[in-house]
């Protein structure tokens, strides 16, 4: 029995010595947090510049910057002790993020911020700097890529369905092809929703509204994205 207790005590001492006595120099901590702070400010600036004003969230941007610092501190702490590492894993496993990411690009910035924190925490500062520069260049190049022009939705309310014949002539004048997305007929008249591409929006709306029997004309542009 004494041998078992002695063995357990020696095992605990060995684990304690190897897990809790690993120290990190104060200068290393300051350098890691300093580089992480600079890169966090850089991410903050890039997010503010690259995000459209209508969907910019200052609180989310501040979260991005602080996330890098917190992640760096966690990684530095995990290097000091196996016990701290296990404790961090257990603590982080119960965290639940319930905020919905409104923009897909926000998820990328969040992952970028966490990655910078992890890399700085491990002391690989050159990789963190190079990663940030490459990501910035990639964002700028992707913004230069032209996206296909979104189609228009032409919404027409008319007194009767016979207006479709005259409408077909007008549509062929201003667009090469079109597609009827919806056709609703009731006792009050007919409602048509037509998808098309055109470069003469004003002329198209004017000619459609001049047709006999047409009560209202609406032309809508939609980029295909749904936002809350």
More confident site: 178 or 223:
178
As a whole number of angstroms, the distance between CA 222 and CA 228 comes to: 15
Most confident among 29-43, 63-77, 78-92, 210-224 (mean pLDDT)? 29-43
Residue 133 pLDDT > 90: yes
Predicted confidence at residue 217, as pLDDT, reads: 83
Among the ranges given (104-113, 128-137, 179-188), the one the predictor scored with the smallest mean pLDDT: 179-188
Query: Mean per-residue pLDDT for 15-39?
Result: 73
Q: Which of 223, 228, 153, 220 is nearest to 192 (CA)?
A: 153
Q: Average pLDDT of 71-91?
A: 70
Confidence (pLDDT) at 19: 45
Query: How far is the C-alpha of 128 from the C-alpha of 125, rounded, in Å?
Result: 5
How far, in Å, CA of 204 to CA of 118, rounded?
Answer: 56
Q: What is the tens place of the pLDDT at every residue in 145-184?
A: 776 777 888 888 888 777 777 788 888 888 888 888 888 7
Cα separation of 128 and 226, whole Å? Answer: 34
The pLDDT value recorded for residue 83 is 57
pLDDT at 77: 78
Mean pLDDT estimate for the chain: 77
- CA-wise closest residue to 117 among 67, 65, 72, 62: 72
Helices (H), 79-216: 82-92, 104-121, 125-144, 163-174, 201-209
What is the structure's pLDDT at 114?
87
**pLDDT (0 to 100) of residue 226:** 45
> Which residues, at least 6 apart from 30, have a Cβ–Cβ distance to it below 8 Å?
none
Q: Per-residue pLDDT for 200 more than 60?
A: yes
pLDDT band at 95 (very low <50, low <70, confident <90, very high): low
Q: How many CB atoms lie within 10 A of CB 208?
A: 23
């Amino acid at each position: 029995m004494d041998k078992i207790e002695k063995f357990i005590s020696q095992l605990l001492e060995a684990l304690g010595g190897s897990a809790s006595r690993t120290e990190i120099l104060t200068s290393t901590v300051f350098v890691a947090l300093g580089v992480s702070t600079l890169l966090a400010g850089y991410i903050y600036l890039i997010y503010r510049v690259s995000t459209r004003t209508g969907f910019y969230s200052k609180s989310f941007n501040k979260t991005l910057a602080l996330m890098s610092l917190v992640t760096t501190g966690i990684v530095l702490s995990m290097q000091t002790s196996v016990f701290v590492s296990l404790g961090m894993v257990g603590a982080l496993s119960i965290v639940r993020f319930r905020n919905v990411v409104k923009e897909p690009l926000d998820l990328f910035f969040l992952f970028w911020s966490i990655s910078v924190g992890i890399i700085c925490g491990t002391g690989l500062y050159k990789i963190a700097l190079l990663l940030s520069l490459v990501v910035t260049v990639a964002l700028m190049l992707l913004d230069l890529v032209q996206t296909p022009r979104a189609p228009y939705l032409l919404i027409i309310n008319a007194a009767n369905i016979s207006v479709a014949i005259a409408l077909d002539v007008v549509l062929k004048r201003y667009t090469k092809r079109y597609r009827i997305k919806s056709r609703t007929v009731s006792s009050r008249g007919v409602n048509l929703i037509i998808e098309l591409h055109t470069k003469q929006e004003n002329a198209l709306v004017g000619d459609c509204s001049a047709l006999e029997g047409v009560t209202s004309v609406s032309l809508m542009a939609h980029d295909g994205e749904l936002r809350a």
